[in-house]
């Protein structure tokens, strides 16, 4: 299961107190122990039994303007404060199987039954209700290339519940869980860690039965834009894609740029052959598989 954090015994604090505490903390969110040290502060907010209801009422009175303006999540999430570039504070709602919201929207709307990891660390505390259930796994990200269909090496470590007051740290690209509906409607509070590299780190959906990577969930606007620049024959688009395909530090972007060049570039074979020498095995294998599909008589991919 995710790392269990000692909640401590401090008195309840307000949301403003937590925001001030986080602003004063110089920690690196990639430092697991340093990030874990914030767990007791989250637990203290969790002991404040009225702040969330007060915030929800305030949002309703202004027709949820604060959520519409700054909340990039769905209806399952109430953003507690706008992201500050280091932390995101949110409350998550977890309907039970018998609740009308779940029966109307379906389990997928609340990310139940979705085996996934995270490309960021986050702390969570059970705030209201019995807490959602999770089937918990771990894997070693250093032992995979990140290809769809690749063996994931998942290790089942048990089933857990986010009990009231329980604090967990979900470790970045380490803990995997399949969340399941709670026995009754529940709410959790989260502190999410953020750093500038996060959008370039892959997050995965897994196939539990096959113990494989089923899907790469991460994407960035830049990936769509480089594909558009090449496909629309924008000035400089080919040059930019060639540069990204060979030199971009993110393997996912190199593959995206390569695919754009193969679909719309002037010399797809040349781009593929260059990529077969990429220092990343994932990029090089992707290029080799595409070379095998190439029809030399038609000079295009099948």
- Please compute the mean of the pLDDT values over residues 279-291 and round it to a whole number: 90
Which helix (H) or strand (E) element contains residue 284?
A: helix 281-293
Q: Kindly report which listed range (36-40, 129-133, 175-179, 284-288) carries the lowest average pLDDT score.
A: 284-288
Between 77 and 32, the more confident residue is 32
Both 23 and 152 in one domain: the answer is: yes
pLDDT of residue 156: 98
Both 231 and 201 in one domain: the answer is: no
Share of the chain above pLDDT 90, in %: 73
User: How does residue 298 score in pLDDT terms, banded at 50, 70 and 90?
Assistant: very low
Both 196 and 134 in one domain: the answer is: yes
> Could you give the CA distance from residue 106 to residue 98 in angstroms, rounded to a whole number?
11
Domain count, the chain: 2
Q: Is the dihedral of CA 74, 193, 82, 37 positive or negative?
A: positive
187, 216, 245 - which closes a domain = 216
Both 205 and 261 in one domain: the answer is: no
164, 183, 216 - which closes a domain = 216
C-alpha distances out from residue 9 to 5, 38, 46, 49, 167, Å: 12, 13, 12, 15, 12
Q: Is the dihedral of CA 174, 179, 183, 187 positive or negative?
A: positive
Both 110 and 257 in one domain: the answer is: no
Query: Read out DSSP for 259-282?
Result: HHHHHHSS-HHHHHHHHTT-SSHH
- Please compute the mean of the pLDDT values over residues 263-269 and round it to a whole number: 90
Between 17 and 85, the more confident residue is 17
User: How does residue 70 score in pLDDT terms, banded at 50, 70 and 90?
Assistant: low
CATH code (residue 47): 2.60.120.10
* pLDDT tens per residue across span 214-232: 999 988 888 889 999 999 9
Both 153 and 227 in one domain: the answer is: no
> Could you give the CA distance from residue 179 to residue 112 in angstroms, rounded to a whole number?
5
Calculate the CA 2 to chain-centre distance.
15
- What is the residue range of 227's domain? 221-301
What is the distance between the terminal CA atoms of the chain, rounded to a whole angstrom?
44
- Please compute the mean of the pLDDT values over residues 111-119 and round it to a whole number: 96
Both 145 and 164 in one domain: the answer is: yes
Half-sphere exposure of 91 (CA within 13 A, CB side): 17
Is the pLDDT assigned to residue 92 strictly greater than 90?
yes
Both 243 and 122 in one domain: the answer is: no
Is the pLDDT assigned to residue 184 strictly greater than 90?
yes
Both 99 and 182 in one domain: the answer is: yes
pLDDT of residue 299: 43
Both 187 and 252 in one domain: the answer is: no
Instruction: Yes or no: say if 117 and 155 are a contact pair by the CB < 8 Å rule.
Output: no
Both 49 and 97 in one domain: the answer is: yes
C-alpha distances out from residue 63 to 67, 68, 91, Å: 9, 9, 18
- Please compute the mean of the pLDDT values over residues 31-41 and round it to a whole number: 97
Is the pLDDT assigned to residue 67 strictly greater than 70?
no
- Please compute the mean of the pLDDT values over residues 39-47 and round it to a whole number: 98
165, 191, 216 - which closes a domain = 216
pTM of the complete model? 0.85
Both 141 and 277 in one domain: the answer is: no
């Amino acid at each position: 299961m995710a790392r269990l954090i000692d909640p401590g015994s401090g008195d309840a604090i307000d949301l403003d107190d937590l925001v001030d505490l986080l602003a004063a903390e110089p920690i690196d969110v990639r430092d697991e122990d340093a990030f874990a040290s914030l767990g007791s502060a989250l637990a203290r907010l969790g002991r404040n039994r009225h702040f969330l209801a007060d915030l929800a009422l305030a949002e309703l009175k202004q027709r949820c303007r604060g959520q519409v303006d700054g909340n990039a999540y769905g209806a399952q999430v109430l953003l507690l404060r706008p992201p500050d570039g280091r932390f995101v504070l949110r409350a998550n709602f977890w309907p039970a199987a018998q609740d009308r919201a779940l029966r109307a929207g379906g389990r997928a709307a609340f990310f139940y039954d979705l085996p996934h990891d995270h490309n960021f660390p986050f702390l969570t505390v059970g705030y209201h209700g019995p807490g959602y259930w999770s089937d918990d796994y771990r894997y070693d990200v250093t032992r995979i290339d990140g290809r769809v269909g690749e063996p994931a090496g998942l290790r089942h470590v048990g089933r857990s519940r986010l009990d009231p007051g329980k604090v967990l740290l979900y470790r970045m690209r380490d803990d995997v869980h399949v969340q399941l509906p709670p026995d009754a409607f529940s709410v959790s509070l989260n502190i999410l860690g953020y750093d500038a590299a996060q959008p370039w780190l892959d997050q995965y959906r897994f196939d539990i039965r096959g113990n494989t990577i089923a899907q790469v969930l991460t994407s960035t606007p830049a990936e769509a834009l480089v594909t558009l620049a090449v496909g629309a024959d924008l000035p400089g688009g080919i040059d930019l894609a060639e540069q990204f395909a060979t030199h971009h530090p993110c393997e996912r972007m190199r593959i995206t740029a390569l695919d754009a060049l193969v679909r719309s570039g002037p010399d797809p074979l040349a781009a593929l052959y260059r990529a077969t020498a990429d220092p990343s095995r994932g990029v090089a294998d992707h290029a080799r598989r595409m070379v095998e599909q190439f029809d030399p008589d038609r000079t295009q991919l099948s």
